[in-house]
Amino acid sequence: MNIREMRMRLGDTQSEFAARYQIPFRTVQNWETGVRKPPEYMVNLLEHRISEDLINRKTRVLPQYDPQKHDLPKRRDYIGAVSWLRAVRECIGQPVVFALDEALMCQGSFGGRNEEYLIWVYGADSVTRFNGVAVLGNQINPIDVRSKNGLSFTSFNRTLLDALANESILDMQGITEAVSRYYYAHGDSFAGIFVPPEYQKRFDRLAQDAIAYYEN
Domain ranges in the chain?
3-55, 75-213
Sign of CA dihedral 86, 92, 97, 101: negative
What is the predicted pLDDT for the residue at 216? 58
pLDDT band for position 119 (cuts 50, 70, 90): very high
CA gyration radius, the chain: 19
pLDDT tens-digit readout, 124-177: 889 999 999 999 888 887 888 999 999 999 999 999 989 998 888 888 999 999
pLDDT tens-digit readout, 32-89: 999 999 999 999 989 888 877 766 554 467 888 999 999 999 998 998 899 999 999 9
User: How confident is the model over 166-189, as a mean pLDDT?
Assistant: 92
User: How confident is the model over 97-111, as a mean pLDDT?
Assistant: 94
Flag whether pLDDT at 18 surpasses 70: yes
Report helix, strand or coil for 67.
coil
Contacts of 94 (CB under 8 A, 6+ apart): 123, 124, 126, 127
What is the predicted pLDDT for the residue at 55? 62
Residue 160 near residue 104 (C-beta atoms within 8 A): no
CB hemisphere CA count around 40 (13 angstroms): 0
- The correct answer on CATH 1.10.260 for the domain covering 3-55 is yes
Contacts of 83 (CB under 8 A, 6+ apart): none
pLDDT band for position 25 (cuts 50, 70, 90): very high
Sign of CA dihedral 29, 32, 34, 39: positive
What is the predicted pLDDT for the residue at 53? 72
How many H helices and E strands in the chain?
9, 5
Q: Which is higher by pLDDT, 108 or 19?
A: 108
Residue 144 near residue 107 (C-beta atoms within 8 A): no
